[in-house]
Amino acid sequence: MIFDTHLHLIDQSALRYPWLSGVPALNRDFSHDEYATQARRAGIEGALHMEVDVDPADIEAETSHVKALSQQRDSLLRGAIASCRPEAPSFAAYLEHQRGDPFVKGFRRVLHVMPDELSEGALFRENIKRLAGTRLTFDLVVLPHQIPKAIALADLAPDVQFVLDHCGVPDIKGSSEHPWREHMAEIARRPNVVGKISGVVAYADPGSWTVDTLRPYVEHTISCFGWNRVVWGSDWPVCTLGGGLATWVAATHALLGGASADEREKLLSGNAKRLWSL
């Protein structure tokens, strides 16, 4: 069975998503019920909801909305990675409020579409340090040239558990491996960073990618981090841009064809359950 550490749900009747107007293929509702039907067919037993970069005014409403969905009968939701703004003076109070809710497993601040300077601010960095000892993780979503910025955060807060999303967002469509390959090896040297095998089908050419297209990127990520520090995510519904949930699950199984049963179990569910105490 698979545990999905990267599920996005979109409900435009409840929340505002300013960025969706620029992505027509995703500019509709993607419900838990729609996901759950596909997920159960693919062998997914549970999921963490990943924040969807809602309007800042809706950040806490998003977490409450997802938590309510998790309490419905037969829900696959087991927790949430909530949005946050470490650059804001209000972060400390927000953290204290959220850390009291066991449904919240961690935070993410989207960085790959933001100026590099955001994560270099003194307040941002001081607030990231506040996560030490809270049990809460911090997901990093950065472009390859920004991985050194992520490394700086990991070094600055060695007692904070970071998760590097989407294999470091490689340019698979452009067949580009450098400096991504070198940066991945370097960030993986930090024991407080875990690699997430997710997102890659959306970075490949949607009409022509094959398992072998993805293989160098997925295998390098696993090689760098090792089987004890990798987790799996669907990135649904973004994965629909590259073939859909069932296609990504099938590709994952093909990519893991040479792995042992123990290695597959760690990546597909065991490491996630340990990391987030699921």
pLDDT of residue 41: 98
What per-residue confidence (pLDDT) applies to 110?
Answer: 95
Give tens-digit pLDDT for 214-251: 999 999 999 999 999 999 999 999 999 999 999 999 99
Q: What pLDDT does residue 232 have?
A: 99
Give the tens place of pLDDT for each residue, 76-95.
999 999 999 999 999 999 99
| Per-chain mean pLDDT for the chain | 98
What was the pLDDT predicted at 214? Answer: 98
Q: What is the pLDDT of residue 149?
A: 97
Question: What pLDDT is stored for residue 25 in this prediction?
Answer: 97
The share of the chain scoring above pLDDT 90, in percent, equals: 100
Q: Which residues, given as ranges, of the chain have pLDDT below 50?
A: none
User: Residue by residue, what is the 3-state secondary structure of the chain?
Assistant: CEEEEEECCECCCCCCCHHHHHCHHHCCCECHHHHHHHHHHCCEEEEEEECCCCCHHHHHHHHHHHHHHHCCCCCCEEEEEEECCCCCCCHHHHHHHHCCCCCEEEEECCCCCCCHHHHHCHHHHHHHHCCCCCCCEEEECCCHHHHHHHHHHHHHCCCCCEEEHHHHCCCCCCCCCCCHHHHHHHHCCCCCEEEEECCHHHHCCCCCCCHHHHHHHHHHHHHHHCHHHEEECCCECHHHHHCCHHHHHHHHHHHCCCCCHHHHHHHHHHHHHHHCCC
Looking at residue 186, its pLDDT comes to 98
Give the pLDDT of residue 71. 98
Q: pLDDT per residue over 165-186, tens digit each? A: 999 999 999 999 999 999 999 9
* pLDDT > 70 fraction of the chain, expressed in percent and rounded: 100
